[in-house]
Structure 1
Amino acid sequence: MTYCVGLYLEDGLVMLADTRTNAGVDNVSTFSKVYTSTVPGERALCLMSAGNLGITQAVWNRLQEGVMLEGTRQSLLTVPSMFRTAQLLGEAVRAVYAADGPALRAQGISFAASFLLGGQIAGGPVRLFLVYSAGNFIEATTDTPYLQVGEHKYGKPTLLRILTHRTRLEDGAKLSLLSMDDTLGANLSVGMPLDMVVYRKDSLAFPPIRRIEENDPYFHDLRDAWTSHIRDLFRDLPAPDWLVQPVDPAQTPA
């Protein structure tokens, strides 16, 4: 399994994924699940995937080679808008299902794949989509400025308490790492290292993918500080008033 989270912010996007894949407890590997496609000054697209690695890699390869969309072969380098890019990804997923679905079913393997797609194409806004295994999709909004795939439940509470669409990119990077840390501590199928992409609105170019290793000093200090501050805050919270022992005046020294 995996955990991927994308934050849709006023100033851009933060996208983070782990790299663990496993086919049983004795077959654990590391694969990047973050793909980028960029034409500087024209488009910057980022894809993150969860599910069967063979399926997700096949989908990415089809996107590179081109997929039929409304009668025309399109690729990530030719689609005219982010909405069309999400449609193209959906068509690629359906094409892989049509090609491989019967063989997978014959082996008792489910067609498990989901994707986060974020980015910007010149002339349009920054957008973030979640594309399901059926090829349909939803979009992040200012009311719900994040999307997750994979083992999403453990890292969700931190996002719910703090994140808004107006959260700064720098704070969004912190939040995504804390959300990932909660997931790493709760589920062994999610593991280091991590891959992060931070996209600034209207830059139309991605910086290099940031690989965060287990011994990364910033991530180490962040998770330690977060744990320490939460413990301090918890100790400072008042106890339930119905559990506070009343003082017996008869036992109070004169």
Structure 2
Amino acid sequence: MTYCVALKLDRGLVFAADTRTNAGLDNIATFKKLHVWEKPGERVMTLLSAGNLAVTQAVVSLLSEHIKTSSEGQPNIMTADTMFQVARLVGSAVRKVKDIDGEALAASADNFFVTFILGGQIKGEEPRLFQIYAAGNFIEVCDDTPFLQIGEHKYGKPILDRVTRRDMRLGEAAKMVLLSFDSTLRSNLSVGMPVDLFLYNKDSFTADRQFRIEQNDPYFRKLSEGWSNKLREAFADLDELEV
């Protein structure tokens, strides 16, 4: 399993993804699930992936190959005019991989369960954020709920529901996202460190703020311990049930 989250804020976009994948308790590995394409000064796009690793890697590889092999007049993610068109290209790539591998996966009792979060900005429009499903269809994030989660999301959702604001600073949002991961890591062994983090400043058209948060990262450890202490203090300050 995995956990990925992305936020669309007034100041830009925040993306994070864990790196754990497993095929049983004794077969655990690390794979990157946060992928970035960049044309400095023109566009930056990020794709987060969850689900069958072979399928998600095939989709990412197909998108990257199309950048090199697309003929003139045939759009790819680096030539599409809008993020909506990019989302459609990702959806088409998902369907193409399903056409190739879907029947074999079904026959072997594997599944084609995959989901993606696509976000970024193309010059001439605002940053945008989409969730893309296994059927290749997608939705775009709305102002009422400016974040998307895929994978093992239930443990990390409460803090996002309570704390997220559109006017947050990106560093503040990154702190919240890492606390969301801390809650998930404590409750689900299928999600694991390190965590890949990308902060995108609106209208910067550069992907220079990418980080990998390791298990022993001093800031993450301080954040986790501080959050645990504050929760205990808040719990102790609340009135007990009178029985």
SS of 2:48's equivalent in the other structure is strand
Residues in 1 aligned to 2:26 and 2:225: alpha-carbon distance in whole angstroms: 30
Cα distance, 1:139 vs structure 2: 1.3
State how far apart, in whole Å, the 1-side matches of 2:58 and 2:189 are. 26
Which of structure 1's runs of 4+ aligned residues deviate more than 2 A?
none
Percent identity over paired residues: 51
SS in 2 for 1:179: helix
Pairing 1:32–2:38 present: no
Cα distance in 1 between the residues matched to 2:165 and 2:157: 13
Cα 1:208–1:162 change in 2 (3 A) is closer
Instruction: State the match for 1:251 in structure 2.
Output: none
Output the CA distance in 1 between the equivalents of 2:224 and 2:35: 26
Deviation at 1:66, TM superposition (A): 2.1
Residues 83-121 of structure 1: CA distance to partner in whole angstroms, max 9, x if unpaired? Answer: 111111101000000011111111111101110111100
Residue equivalent to 1:97 = 98
Q: Which residue does the alignment assign to 1:203?
A: 204
8 Å contact from structure 1 (residues 142, 164) kept in 2: no
Note the 1:106-185 alignment, pairs <5 A: 106-185=107-186
Cα RMSD between the aligned structures?
A: 1.5
Q: CA deviation at 1:146?
A: 0.5
Asked if 1:214 corresponds to 2:219, the answer is no
2:48 counterpart letter in structure 1: M
Counterpart CA distance in 1 for 2:102 and 2:204 is: 39
- Give the whole-Å Cα distance in 2 for the aligned partners of 1:213 and 1:141: 32
Structure 1: unaligned runs, 5 residues or longer: 244-254
Distance 1:98 1:48 in 2: 22
Mapped pair 1:51 → 2:51: yes
Partner of 1:15: 15
Report the structure number with the largest CA radius of gyration: 1
Q: Supply the distance in 1 between the matched residues of 2:149 and 2:74 (Cα, whole angstroms).
A: 29
**Which amino acid letter does the alignment assign opposite residue 156 of structure 1?**
K
2:190 maps to amino acid = S
Shift of 1:75: 1.7
**Number of paired residues?**
240
Q: Supply the AA of the counterpart residue of 1:11.
A: R
Gaps of 5+ in 2: none
Contact map agreement 2:200 2:209 (CA 8 A) in 1: no
Paired letter, 1:234: F
Q: State the TM-score, normalized to the length of structure 2.
A: 0.95
